[in-house]
Structure 1
């Protein structure tokens, strides 16, 4: 009799649990097994849940439990939205309590040139159309109440973009004009579809930034400009930095690629940094786009650039650091193929030695690099 009562209680608990657990869970987005290309290491997961128990549905990654940031109900279906953090490579997730597993591959997006829009393994939310029909139940043409925006009287304004992508354009950020006015289709509409531009990004940018055509007439062109990927340095939507740069223009944006200059930009211990670099940044001497001088210097040769600030040495050919020492010459004894100039003895970025010298001045050690005793 006791055994029968226990069995009845267990069955009752199971019946209650069954009524509280979702009958069907579908992954609306992204497609399991797909590759995520993104600058930020995260992606939104959307689950469609039939039945009850929507509050019990969680996502687990290793030992981390991920809660939904929002649940909305439409036509007897609950739509749970999650933000999944991504690590480079394969990421395995499990939906709790059903224990259904799925995985996503993550490749950090550094350049739009690496995007293959025709690769079916790469996830594009808008690949088949503007959005899945179910999403349109909530994401309508109505501007969200928490967004203040006045539609401009021109261009392809589409409020549907706002409800999903408003996090791309924080209110206090510096905004790219098309993004600020939600004219997304200026850049993202191609052959009637919403997508990432499949051509060279340069061709898209110079439709408005027509002055950029002049860069390609210069002799020395910065690598990202030469390849046409403006988004290597600029965020096409919004950024907290001037010119929508990916990082501060004083140098942080440059060392994303030029990592060997990090010790100067962030002034590592025992390094004396050229003050113009710490105060104003790389672009005081270098054009971030293109010039007619090596290293994209604004003027050339190097002595001419240096003496634009160090005016006491302007026009000097001999007499520094001692009376007969040359300041300019056709050959640099230490750097094959380069002219002799200021940078033959001084590092223009920084040095562990006084006066940004390439060696210790005491005992004439810097001199011995060219004049061995």
Structure 2
């Protein structure tokens, strides 16, 4: 306002004429030049790349200042890309001197600006922490000792949420024992229940390739094996060998084979094989076989594998060496000719 008033007064004095008018003209000229120079300088400041980026440039300086104090962020084994190149403001929006806009509660909305969300939330089953957008529950957004910026090493990271008691057992599944939960589970999303990497048994067959081949070629496959390995095996840990859910020699089998359980409990004379450590497995393969009932060998050959010497029966009777007896007596009974001992004998009791 003062500057405008001075110009107005000078114009009024110019009208009055005389020497005074000349002096005022000179002053007016100087004021005009000063104003012109100021205007040019302002335009130059506005158009300069350095000036235009004044706010941005201030932020860039801020990034460098961040690293000056937060220097440890770039010294870990694994550093987030944006931290490595000191671009803090990709995630943190500056609103003032050392003030930043609060990060979104659903932090994934920030992560998905760079990371393709289809790789994390597009499938049928999504890990809960991913679903609610808490990426930083598992990942450190700045740096970490562990690959993928994990906050802890597997399986300790998983045990932040999942009960560690699941592996407090005598026998632990290999991948779990080595802390490799992600061999079987996808930590973000999956099209299969429990975030599995593949459908049912196919997860198991990734490692247990021998069983996969056997099942494909065998004539007879145990029904639970066809459906799901976890009917019999715990995928994490148990107190029974082979991660079985119960004693595999008999107790586990009788959970499903309830009629056999009742029969064995009630009969007077039980098959001796059931009293051995192998139990049911003395005669049956739990997975597959080329013989009915998953028998380990052709029925008569299987029987003579034990009955090749004198045996004391469970009732105290001494049984003959049947293999030698049959070798010395060629006039075989019809079922023996057909190699079917079970035509006359119940193999359980």
TM-score in terms of structure 2 length: 0.55
Match of 1:244 among 195, 198, 202: 195
Question: Who is 1:347 aligned against?
Answer: 285
Output the CA distance in 2 between the equivalents of 1:205 and 1:254.
20
Write the deviation string for residues 48-75 of structure 1: whole angstroms up to 9, x where unpaired. Answer: xxxxxxxxxxxxxxxxxxxxxxxxxxxx
Whether the 8 Å contact between 1:318 and 1:328 is mirrored in structure 2 is: no
Question: Who is 2:272 aligned against?
Answer: 326
The structure whose residues are more often helix, as a share, is 2
How many residue pairs align between the two structures? 223
Output the CA distance in 2 between the equivalents of 1:135 and 1:367.
77
Question: Who is 1:78 aligned against?
Answer: none
Is 1:222 paired with 2:158? no
Whether the 8 Å contact between 1:140 and 1:160 is mirrored in structure 2 is: no
Is 1:200 paired with 2:134? no
Question: Who is 1:126 aligned against?
Answer: 80
Match of 1:275 among 216, 223, 227: 223
Match of 1:356 among 294, 309, 324: 294
Q: How big is the shift at 1:306?
A: 0.5
Distance 1:326 1:162, change over 3 A: farther
Question: Who is 2:210 aligned against?
Answer: 260
Q: How big is the shift at 1:263?
A: 2.8
Question: Who is 1:312 aligned against?
Answer: 259
Output the CA distance in 1 between the equivalents of 2:121 and 2:152.
28
TM-score in terms of structure 1 length: 0.52
Question: Please, which moves more after superposition, 239-248 or 254-263?
Answer: 254-263
Distance 1:242 1:173, change over 3 A: same
Distance 1:307 1:287, change over 3 A: same
Q: How big is the shift at 1:184?
A: 1.5
Question: Who is 1:27 aligned against?
Answer: none
Q: How big is the shift at 1:319?
A: 9.8
In structure 2, the gaps of 5 or more residues are: 1-74, 94-102, 309-322, 324-349
Question: Who is 2:67 aligned against?
Answer: none
Q: How big is the shift at 1:260?
A: 1.3
Match of 2:247 among 300, 307, 331: 300
Write the deviation string for residues 16-56 of structure 1: whole angstroms up to 9, x where unpaired. Answer: xxxxxxxxxxxxxxxxxxxxxxxxxxxxxxxxxxxxxxxxx
In structure 1, the gaps of 5 or more residues are: 1-116, 142-151, 331-338
Output the CA distance in 2 between the equivalents of 1:315 and 1:290.
29
Output the CA distance in 1 between the equivalents of 2:88 and 2:140.
22
Output the CA distance in 1 between the equivalents of 2:297 and 2:138.
51
Output the CA distance in 2 between the equivalents of 1:216 and 1:285.
17
Output the CA distance in 2 between the equivalents of 1:282 and 1:159.
40
Q: How big is the shift at 1:125?
A: 7.9
Secondary structure of the residue aligned to 2:186 is: coil
Distance 1:270 1:193, change over 3 A: closer
Distance 1:128 1:341, change over 3 A: same
Question: Who is 1:168 aligned against?
Answer: 119
Write the deviation string for residues 272-326 of structure 1: whole angstroms up to 9, x where unpaired. Answer: 11012213x0001111111222211112253111111111221666999x96522
Output the CA distance in 1 between the equivalents of 2:197 and 2:122.
17
Output the CA distance in 2 between the equivalents of 1:243 and 1:276.
19
Is 1:286 paired with 2:240? no
The structure whose residues are more often strand, as a share, is 1
Output the CA distance in 1 between the equivalents of 2:84 and 2:193.
32
